[in-house]
Structure 1
Amino acid sequence: MNLTKPLLILAIFLIAACNSTKKEMPIADTITKSNAFNLEEVLNTNVLKTKKTAEGLTSVDSFPRNIKEGTTDWHFVGVKDWCSGFYPGVLWYAYEASDDEEIKKQAERFTNPLKTIAYTPADNHDIGFMVYCSYGNGYRLTGNEAYKEILLAAADTLATLYNPTVGTILSWPSQKEKFQYNTIIDNMMNLELLFWAAKNGGEQRLYDIAKSHAEKTMEHSVRKDSAVYHVASFDEKTGEFLGGHTHQGYAKESMWARGQGWGIYGFSMAYRETGEQEFLDTAIKLADHYMNRLPKDGIPYWDFDDPKIPNAPRDASAAAVAACGMLELAGLVKDEDLKEKYINAASRYIEILSSKEYLSGDTNQALLLHSTGHYPKNSEIDIPIIYADYYYMEALMRIKKMEKLNK
């Protein structure tokens, strides 16, 4: 498919968006002929910034997570934090974009401490985020057999959280008192580790677990309004679905932006790995609902139903996750119009994130501004968060590969 037509449509769409209501974030002055989006330029700038930041970090068992308001440098977390794998993942994408051996060394340096996750009893579902984003990208780019063994061990560890009666992986053992046996929409992303392992020397049961989890999530977490529950609760002894809840969203029945992104990406990936049409149909439904409810400037508020909108914080991380999900989806649908639709949408989100409204520039060490982590707990609101940078770099690399294929 030639990207000229999608990019022309994208340009027209952006011009129209620039003339929209002034209640939205003012991006009209950020997409102009003088500073038009240049993929290579943005990637090169991100690579140089990532390299410079990494060179100044001395403790490899501490990982960037966020930049607190009023500061310029990353705040760090330990190996067991659910976000620990994203920074080495950013480094691996920077290496992929540049072939810079110094960046590769930094990626290896920050990946190695995460080995312990694969061999430590599982206490949450985030093993996929921690290990697949780090070791998974590392193995994809280097073929390091030691990385493969760690990935396989991590998949086996994640699988210990599976309950065959419920048919899903327990997300938060520590939250059973509040949510009973719980499965969250984020967990869809961690299934990729299991699917990968089943194809690369792991047992068939890993595939079966991942597929069952996706089916149960589709059945119980995807609502009739095409939004998703953040948390699904079950009776672990009978498998009965007890109800949907939220933890990080505005309300049980609201549409938490990042959760919708996890669903788009997760069900697209599940279709890619299984060929089950229902997964693809679900991904399309979630993507279309997300697009239909977006603000005119293309970046979601942290929750689509926050009554404080338009005076509510945005979530750049949700935009980056959704963009990756739609680029994945575009590569799976057969209809050319649908392909174009999702490529146009994802490209628009990434172009906006690459504008001066969202790209941090010299403001701090992060790539992106304006992400929201856990609004109900007043945690990580309207600040840079590492997983926004990770999915932003992934999306940039996906678009670059698409452009290369169509030259």
Structure 2
Amino acid sequence: MASASRACFSPRSLDAINFLLADARGAVGPYLNVYLVTERGWSQSALGVVTLVSGVAALALQTPIGAVIDRSRAKRGAIVLALAVMALGAVVVFARSDFWSILAASTMIAVVGDIFYPAVAALTLGLIGRRRLAQRTGRNAAFDHAGNVVIALLAAAMGWWFSQRAVFLLVPIFAVLAAAATLSIPAQAIDHDLARAADPDGKARRRAARPGWRVLLGCKPLVAFGICAFLFHFANAPLLPLVGQVLAFAHPAWATAMMSICIVAAQAVMLPISILVGHTADRWGRKPIFLIGFAVLPVRAVLFTLSHDTGWLIAAQLLDGIGFGIYAALTPLVVADLVRGTGHYNLALGAVATMTGIGASISGLVAGVMVDAFGFDAAFLTLSLVAAIAALVFAMAMPETRLELPREPAGPG
């Protein structure tokens, strides 16, 4: 019956959701940091405080949101509501530039951003099933990266023709389009048990009834993966904003365009990487591919210290397409492997996202203070060291998670 219900679902709807959500989120992202530092004269420390506070507020809800999505049958509605709040936050950023307004708007955007990742992952699993999940997660990531390329180009055009501030008005436009794409998925096409990685047999239902925290902490590979995710994002999250600021100070009139070039360079590489990962993860295994992604990150951070030439920095940023491209495509798949049959898939995704958020929030403040005190190169080298530790921990602590699955009936992909 689940297969029959999924037959009325068009894969293009998932494609559109991933593409348009990237456009909606990407019109705020790193542009806010560059805008506040270069056009509004904010210090790195003040920017770090906003990043930390908004990140901590979001972290308090990240894992509970995953648990709610596991139990909710209104996954489409959750995405639409989050888009509405994100659009409102972007309008506030456009209209105001004082500390408290930006802090409130940034916090709103960060909190509702918690919803997108587990909700889209739940829709994907509930619509596609496990057998073709590797290929579908790669395709999701590819459309997400394509959306990031488009919004980066649009933002560059808006920043050039109008102002950096005008970029934030793109958010409400893409929020409406993303909401329409979400609602184009028929509610009856979603298998909500499958969407939370629950199996129909009695044993699996008993496992699903266990407290979520016990399931998460009892899975040692999931705990190890959470630690690796924390270290990876601690090292990775500040790199793009810092590079964008280096380029913005060197080319003040081209600040938004320079940030867009960095984003497009990496996202253009992520797109084919995501497709490749989706097609090879079941054959090669998850761990060897993931190790490549972890190993690239410290190399990229060190390269940023060798020269601040514009061409060099943009070329080094291409490596983000490999590192983060692999991470984004494989994370939903690895988590699905680890919690198979528990019924706590979205809770686990939320927990991993919490770890990544903690890493990104803390590192934003740490990197900002280091830049103010010691300069950009010191921050890059510190982040490189953390990235190397992340790669070592992953290599030693994470097992291969791929398992053979029984075949599911073919359906839309």
TM norm. shorter chain > 0.5: no
- Which of the two has greater helix per residue? 2
TM-score (norm 1): 0.23
- Which of the two has greater strand per residue? 1
Q: Taking CA–CA contacts closer than 8 Å with sequence separation of 6 or more, which of the two structures ends up with the larger relative contact order? A: 2
TM-score (norm 2): 0.23
